[in-house]
Amino acid sequence: MIVLTTFDADDTVLAALRAGAGGFLLKDAPPARIVEAVCRVAAGEPILAPAITRRLLERTTAEAGAHTRARGALAALTPREHAVALAVGHGDTNAQIAETLHVSVATVKAHLTRILARLQLSNRTQLALLVHDAGLL
């Protein structure tokens, strides 16, 4: 299947590819390019409009960089701080974290204060996003 559209938003492209599209072209593609795409997709080769390919490569590279940076930042934490960070990433409250780790809520708060300071973050939402970017959820 080839998607031929005027919309080249990244989410639209990714949704089409996830749905099984073998090609994604914009309607302004020359007719010869569309025919070539049909032949190539029929032969099992994927095809994307050049502008889309460039954007997806940039997005993938940016996401890989964010993943690497997030993992590096979290590697600076102690094992206990890492466990607290993961729990925050899962959306646990301080009380839930304390119960899981068998420590007091005050201890959890102290860990969070050190984690946020060490990682130069302002709040637990930023910490949760960092855990997500690291691929740990």
In this prediction, residue 8 carries a pLDDT of 66
Tokens of 21: 């599209």
The answer to whether residues 108 and 66 touch, using CB atoms and an 8 Å cutoff, is no
Co-location of 41 and 92 in the same domain: no
- Residue 109 domain boundaries: 66-133
Give the CA radius of gyration of the chain: 22
Co-location of 42 and 76 in the same domain: no
* Number of domain units in the chain: 2
Co-location of 9 and 37 in the same domain: yes
Q: Residue 6: which residues within 8 A CB-CB, separation 6 or more?
A: 26, 27, 28
In this prediction, residue 2 carries a pLDDT of 79
pLDDT in tens, the chain (137 residues): 777 777 666 677 777 777 777 777 888 888 888 888 888 888 877 777 777 777 776 776 667 777 888 899 999 999 999 999 999 999 899 999 999 999 999 999 999 999 999 999 988 888 998 998 898 88
In a domain, 58, yes or no: no
Co-location of 43 and 71 in the same domain: no
Question: Cα separation of 59 and 89, whole Å?
Answer: 23
In this prediction, residue 41 carries a pLDDT of 81
